[in-house]
Protein backbone atom coordinates (compact mmCIF):
# COMPACT_ATOMS: atom_id res chain seq x y z
CA UNK A 1 0.00 0.00 0.00
CA UNK A 2 1.03 3.58 -0.61
CA UNK A 3 0.32 6.46 1.77
CA UNK A 4 -1.64 9.65 1.16
CA UNK A 5 -0.13 12.69 2.83
CA UNK A 6 -2.04 14.14 5.77
CA UNK A 7 -1.86 17.95 5.57
CA UNK A 8 -3.90 19.43 8.43
CA UNK A 9 -2.91 18.14 11.89
CA UNK A 10 0.02 16.42 10.21
CA UNK A 11 1.67 15.63 13.55
CA UNK A 12 -1.10 13.09 14.12
CA UNK A 13 -0.36 11.25 10.86
CA UNK A 14 1.18 7.80 11.03
CA UNK A 15 2.73 6.31 7.91
CA UNK A 16 3.03 2.73 9.06
CA UNK A 17 1.27 -0.28 7.53
CA UNK A 18 1.23 -2.09 10.88
CA UNK A 19 -0.77 0.74 12.48
CA UNK A 20 -3.24 0.77 9.57
CA UNK A 21 -3.78 -2.98 10.07
CA UNK A 22 -4.12 -2.54 13.83
CA UNK A 23 -6.86 0.08 13.41
CA UNK A 24 -8.69 -2.03 10.82
CA UNK A 25 -8.46 -5.11 13.03
CA UNK A 26 -9.82 -3.24 16.05
CA UNK A 27 -13.23 -3.04 14.36
CA UNK A 28 -15.39 -4.59 11.68
CA UNK A 29 -17.57 -1.73 10.40
CA UNK A 30 -16.54 0.75 7.75
CA UNK A 31 -18.19 3.51 5.75
CA UNK A 32 -17.81 3.01 2.02
CA UNK A 33 -18.06 5.96 -0.37
CA UNK A 34 -18.70 5.45 -4.06
CA UNK A 35 -20.12 7.19 -7.12
CA UNK A 36 -23.35 6.42 -8.90
CA UNK A 37 -24.27 8.50 -11.95
CA UNK A 38 -22.32 11.48 -10.66
CA UNK A 39 -23.84 11.26 -7.18
CA UNK A 40 -21.56 10.51 -4.22
CA UNK A 41 -22.97 7.91 -1.84
CA UNK A 42 -21.75 6.58 1.49
CA UNK A 43 -23.07 3.43 3.14
CA UNK A 44 -21.97 1.53 6.27
CA UNK A 45 -20.98 -2.09 5.90
CA UNK A 46 -18.88 -4.74 7.65
CA UNK A 47 -15.56 -6.18 6.48
CA UNK A 48 -12.96 -8.84 7.15
CA UNK A 49 -9.29 -8.00 6.55
CA UNK A 50 -6.65 -10.27 5.08
CA UNK A 51 -3.40 -8.42 4.34
CA UNK A 52 -4.21 -5.50 2.05
CA UNK A 53 -7.61 -6.97 1.20
CA UNK A 54 -10.94 -6.17 2.85
CA UNK A 55 -13.60 -8.76 2.11
CA UNK A 56 -17.15 -7.39 1.85
CA UNK A 57 -20.29 -9.39 1.37
CA UNK A 58 -23.99 -9.01 0.69
CA UNK A 59 -26.87 -10.13 -1.48
CA UNK A 60 -26.13 -10.63 -5.19
CA UNK A 61 -28.75 -7.87 -5.64
CA UNK A 62 -26.91 -5.47 -3.31
CA UNK A 63 -26.86 -2.09 -5.04
CA UNK A 64 -23.66 -0.76 -3.46
CA UNK A 65 -21.63 -3.91 -4.07
CA UNK A 66 -22.76 -4.15 -7.70
CA UNK A 67 -22.02 -0.48 -8.24
CA UNK A 68 -18.45 -0.62 -6.93
CA UNK A 69 -17.59 -3.46 -9.34
CA UNK A 70 -17.48 -1.01 -12.27
CA UNK A 71 -13.79 -0.28 -11.67
CA UNK A 72 -14.22 3.09 -9.92
CA UNK A 73 -11.87 4.09 -7.11
CA UNK A 74 -13.77 3.79 -3.86
CA UNK A 75 -12.98 5.27 -0.46
CA UNK A 76 -13.38 3.46 2.85
CA UNK A 77 -13.20 5.02 6.31
CA UNK A 78 -12.79 3.26 9.66
CA UNK A 79 -12.67 5.29 12.88
CA UNK A 80 -12.60 4.40 16.57
CA UNK A 81 -13.64 7.14 18.99
CA UNK A 82 -11.49 6.76 22.11
CA UNK A 83 -12.48 9.76 24.16
CA UNK A 84 -13.69 13.33 24.55
CA UNK A 85 -10.78 15.65 25.23
CA UNK A 86 -12.27 18.40 27.37
CA UNK A 87 -9.99 21.39 27.65
CA UNK A 88 -10.40 24.66 29.55
CA UNK A 89 -11.65 26.25 26.33
CA UNK A 90 -13.86 24.91 23.55
CA UNK A 91 -11.21 25.94 21.04
CA UNK A 92 -8.80 23.41 22.57
CA UNK A 93 -11.49 20.74 23.07
CA UNK A 94 -11.36 17.71 20.81
CA UNK A 95 -11.42 13.94 20.60
CA UNK A 96 -9.02 11.05 20.90
CA UNK A 97 -9.39 8.73 17.95
CA UNK A 98 -7.79 6.23 15.58
CA UNK A 99 -8.77 6.67 11.97
CA UNK A 100 -7.83 5.30 8.56
CA UNK A 101 -8.97 6.37 5.11
CA UNK A 102 -8.39 3.89 2.30
CA UNK A 103 -8.60 4.20 -1.48
CA UNK A 104 -8.71 1.26 -3.83
CA UNK A 105 -10.80 -0.80 -6.18
CA UNK A 106 -13.10 -3.77 -5.74
CA UNK A 107 -13.45 -7.01 -7.66
CA UNK A 108 -15.94 -9.85 -7.47
CA UNK A 109 -14.59 -13.03 -5.88
CA UNK A 110 -15.61 -15.94 -8.12
CA UNK A 111 -13.30 -18.71 -6.92
CA UNK A 112 -15.38 -20.82 -4.52
CA UNK A 113 -12.52 -21.49 -2.10
CA UNK A 114 -11.73 -17.77 -1.87
CA UNK A 115 -15.43 -16.93 -1.44
CA UNK A 116 -15.57 -19.20 1.59
CA UNK A 117 -12.25 -17.82 2.83
CA UNK A 118 -13.64 -14.27 2.49
CA UNK A 119 -16.80 -15.14 4.39
CA UNK A 120 -14.74 -16.80 7.08
CA UNK A 121 -12.44 -13.77 7.43
CA UNK A 122 -15.52 -11.55 7.57
CA UNK A 123 -17.04 -13.63 10.39
CA UNK A 124 -13.78 -13.96 12.28
CA UNK A 125 -13.34 -10.19 12.20
CA UNK A 126 -16.82 -9.62 13.63
CA UNK A 127 -16.97 -12.37 16.23
CA UNK A 128 -13.98 -14.73 16.30
CA UNK A 129 -14.95 -18.40 16.76
CA UNK A 130 -18.56 -18.07 15.55
CA UNK A 131 -17.64 -19.63 12.15
CA UNK A 132 -16.98 -22.95 13.91
CA UNK A 133 -20.22 -22.79 15.94
CA UNK A 134 -22.88 -22.32 13.23
CA UNK A 135 -23.11 -23.16 9.50
CA UNK A 136 -22.50 -20.36 7.00
CA UNK A 137 -25.76 -21.07 5.14
CA UNK A 138 -27.26 -23.58 2.73
CA UNK A 139 -26.35 -23.83 -0.97
CA UNK A 140 -29.16 -21.51 -2.06
CA UNK A 141 -28.21 -18.88 0.52
CA UNK A 142 -24.54 -19.04 -0.40
CA UNK A 143 -25.41 -18.72 -4.12
CA UNK A 144 -27.42 -15.61 -3.30
CA UNK A 145 -24.43 -14.09 -1.49
CA UNK A 146 -21.73 -12.13 -3.26
CA UNK A 147 -18.24 -11.72 -1.89
CA UNK A 148 -16.29 -8.67 -2.98
CA UNK A 149 -12.61 -8.05 -2.51
CA UNK A 150 -11.44 -4.46 -1.89
CA UNK A 151 -7.70 -4.07 -2.37
CA UNK A 152 -6.08 -1.21 -0.47
CA UNK A 153 -4.13 0.88 -2.92
CA UNK A 154 -3.51 4.02 -0.85
CA UNK A 155 -4.04 4.67 2.84
CA UNK A 156 -3.76 7.45 5.37
CA UNK A 157 -3.88 7.19 9.10
CA UNK A 158 -4.40 9.70 11.91
CA UNK A 159 -4.30 9.03 15.63
CA UNK A 160 -4.78 11.37 18.59
CA UNK A 161 -4.03 10.31 22.14
CA UNK A 162 -3.46 12.14 25.41
CA UNK A 163 -4.98 14.99 27.32
CA UNK A 164 -5.98 18.55 26.43
CA UNK A 165 -3.33 20.78 24.91
CA UNK A 166 -3.15 24.45 24.03
CA UNK A 167 -5.05 25.69 27.09
CA UNK A 168 -2.04 25.86 29.42
CA UNK A 169 -2.28 29.64 29.87
CA UNK A 170 -5.97 29.70 30.74
CA UNK A 171 -6.84 30.61 34.32
CA UNK A 172 -10.57 29.72 34.45
CA UNK A 173 -11.07 27.18 37.23
CA UNK A 174 -12.97 24.33 35.65
CA UNK A 175 -12.42 20.58 35.40
CA UNK A 176 -10.58 19.52 32.27
CA UNK A 177 -9.34 16.14 31.11
CA UNK A 178 -10.36 13.14 29.05
CA UNK A 179 -13.63 11.21 29.12
CA UNK A 180 -12.61 7.80 27.68
CA UNK A 181 -15.10 6.11 25.35
CA UNK A 182 -15.16 2.55 24.05
CA UNK A 183 -17.47 -0.14 22.66
CA UNK A 184 -18.81 -2.33 25.48
CA UNK A 185 -20.85 -5.55 25.27
CA UNK A 186 -23.89 -5.63 27.57
CA UNK A 187 -25.63 -8.77 28.95
CA UNK A 188 -26.51 -11.18 26.09
CA UNK A 189 -30.24 -11.54 25.32
CA UNK A 190 -31.15 -15.13 24.38
CA UNK A 191 -33.33 -15.81 21.34
CA UNK A 192 -36.58 -16.92 22.98
CA UNK A 193 -38.10 -18.38 19.80
CA UNK A 194 -36.29 -21.69 20.39
CA UNK A 195 -37.72 -22.05 23.86
CA UNK A 196 -34.85 -23.96 25.43
CA UNK A 197 -32.09 -22.44 27.46
CA UNK A 198 -28.68 -22.88 25.94
CA UNK A 199 -25.39 -21.88 27.42
CA UNK A 200 -23.98 -18.73 25.92
CA UNK A 201 -21.55 -19.74 23.13
CA UNK A 202 -17.82 -19.62 23.65
CA UNK A 203 -17.41 -17.03 20.90
CA UNK A 204 -19.90 -14.75 22.65
CA UNK A 205 -18.22 -15.15 26.04
CA UNK A 206 -14.86 -14.37 24.47
CA UNK A 207 -16.26 -11.30 22.71
CA UNK A 208 -17.73 -10.10 26.02
CA UNK A 209 -14.45 -10.66 27.82
CA UNK A 210 -12.67 -8.57 25.21
CA UNK A 211 -15.29 -5.80 25.15
C1 LIG B 1 -22.98 -1.81 11.05
C2 LIG B 1 -23.56 -2.25 9.73
C3 LIG B 1 -23.00 -3.32 9.06
C4 LIG B 1 -23.56 -3.74 7.85
N5 LIG B 1 -22.97 -4.80 7.19
C6 LIG B 1 -23.47 -5.19 6.02
C7 LIG B 1 -22.86 -6.26 5.29
O8 LIG B 1 -21.86 -6.85 5.71
N9 LIG B 1 -23.40 -6.63 4.12
C10 LIG B 1 -24.52 -6.00 3.62
O11 LIG B 1 -24.97 -6.36 2.52
N12 LIG B 1 -25.11 -4.97 4.26
C13 LIG B 1 -24.61 -4.57 5.45
N14 LIG B 1 -25.21 -3.53 6.13
C15 LIG B 1 -26.39 -2.90 5.51
C16 LIG B 1 -25.91 -1.86 4.47
O17 LIG B 1 -25.67 -0.62 5.12
C18 LIG B 1 -26.95 -1.63 3.35
O19 LIG B 1 -28.16 -1.19 3.91
C20 LIG B 1 -27.20 -2.88 2.53
O21 LIG B 1 -25.97 -3.42 2.10
C22 LIG B 1 -28.06 -2.58 1.32
O23 LIG B 1 -27.30 -1.82 0.42
P24 LIG B 1 -27.89 -1.45 -1.00
O25 LIG B 1 -26.87 -0.59 -1.68
O26 LIG B 1 -28.32 -2.68 -1.72
O27 LIG B 1 -29.16 -0.59 -0.54
P28 LIG B 1 -30.39 -0.01 -1.33
O29 LIG B 1 -31.58 -0.31 -0.51
O30 LIG B 1 -30.38 -0.40 -2.77
O31 LIG B 1 -30.06 1.53 -1.23
C32 LIG B 1 -31.05 2.49 -1.59
C33 LIG B 1 -30.84 3.73 -0.74
O34 LIG B 1 -31.11 3.40 0.62
C35 LIG B 1 -30.28 4.12 1.48
N36 LIG B 1 -29.56 3.18 2.36
C37 LIG B 1 -29.07 1.95 2.10
N38 LIG B 1 -28.46 1.43 3.19
C39 LIG B 1 -28.59 2.35 4.16
C40 LIG B 1 -28.17 2.41 5.52
N41 LIG B 1 -27.48 1.42 6.10
N42 LIG B 1 -28.48 3.50 6.22
C43 LIG B 1 -29.15 4.53 5.67
N44 LIG B 1 -29.57 4.53 4.39
C45 LIG B 1 -29.28 3.46 3.65
C46 LIG B 1 -29.31 4.91 0.64
O47 LIG B 1 -29.78 6.23 0.52
C48 LIG B 1 -29.39 4.23 -0.71
O49 LIG B 1 -29.16 5.13 -1.73
C50 LIG B 1 -24.68 -3.07 7.32
C51 LIG B 1 -25.23 -1.97 8.00
C52 LIG B 1 -24.66 -1.56 9.19
C53 LIG B 1 -25.26 -0.36 9.89
Say how many CA atoms lie within 13 Å of 37 toward its Cβ: 1
Instruction: Please report the DSSP string for 118-182 in residue order.
Output: HHHHHHHHHSTTGGGTS----HHHHHTEEEEEEEEEEEEEEEE-SS--S-TT-------EEEE--
Q: Which atom of ligand 1 is nearest to the CA of 64?
A: 25
Mean pLDDT computed over 109-121: 98
Of the ranges 10-14, 87-91, 103-107, 142-146, which one carries the lowest mean pLDDT score?
10-14
> In angstroms, what is the span from residue 44 Cα to ligand 1's centroid?
6
Asked whether residue 64 carries a pLDDT value surpassing 90, the answer given is yes
Asked whether residue 111 carries a pLDDT value surpassing 70, the answer given is yes
Residue of minimum CA distance from atom 43 in ligand 1: 43
> In angstroms, what is the span from residue 43 Cα to ligand 1's centroid?
6
Asked whether residue 173 carries a pLDDT value surpassing 90, the answer given is yes
pLDDT band per the 50, 70, 90 thresholds, residue 10: confident
Asked whether residue 32 carries a pLDDT value surpassing 80, the answer given is yes
- CB contact at 8 A, 21 and 98: no
pLDDT band per the 50, 70, 90 thresholds, residue 5: confident
Whole-structure pTM value: 0.93
Residue of minimum CA distance from atom 50 in ligand 1: 45
**Residues with a CB atom less than 6 Å from ligand 1:** 29, 41, 43-46, 57-58, 62-64
> In angstroms, what is the span from residue 131 Cα to ligand 1's centroid?
23
> In angstroms, what is the span from residue 144 Cα to ligand 1's centroid?
16
Asked whether residue 15 carries a pLDDT value surpassing 90, the answer given is no
Q: What is the pLDDT of residue 160?
A: 97
Of the ranges 12-16, 127-131, 161-165, which one carries the lowest mean pLDDT score?
12-16
Rounded-to-integer distance, Cα 204 and Cα 151, Å: 30
Asked whether residue 49 carries a pLDDT value surpassing 80, the answer given is yes
Q: CB-based contacts of 198: which residues, under 8 Å, 6+ apart?
A: 190
> In angstroms, what is the span from residue 40 Cα to ligand 1's centroid?
15
Q: Which atom of ligand 1 is nearest to the CA of 58?
A: 11
Residue of minimum CA distance from atom 24 in ligand 1: 63
Asked whether residue 178 carries a pLDDT value surpassing 70, the answer given is yes
Q: What are phi and psi of 201, to 5 degrees?
A: -60, 155
Across the chain, what does the average pLDDT equal?
95
Residue of minimum CA distance from atom 17 in ligand 1: 44
Q: What is the pLDDT of residue 196?
A: 67
Amino acid sequence: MEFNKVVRGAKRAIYDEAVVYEILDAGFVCHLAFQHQGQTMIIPTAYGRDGDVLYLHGSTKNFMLNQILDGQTICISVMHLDGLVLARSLFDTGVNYRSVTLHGTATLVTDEAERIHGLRRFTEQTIPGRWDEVPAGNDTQLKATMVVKFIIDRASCKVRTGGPAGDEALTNEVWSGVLPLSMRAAEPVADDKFGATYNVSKSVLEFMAKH
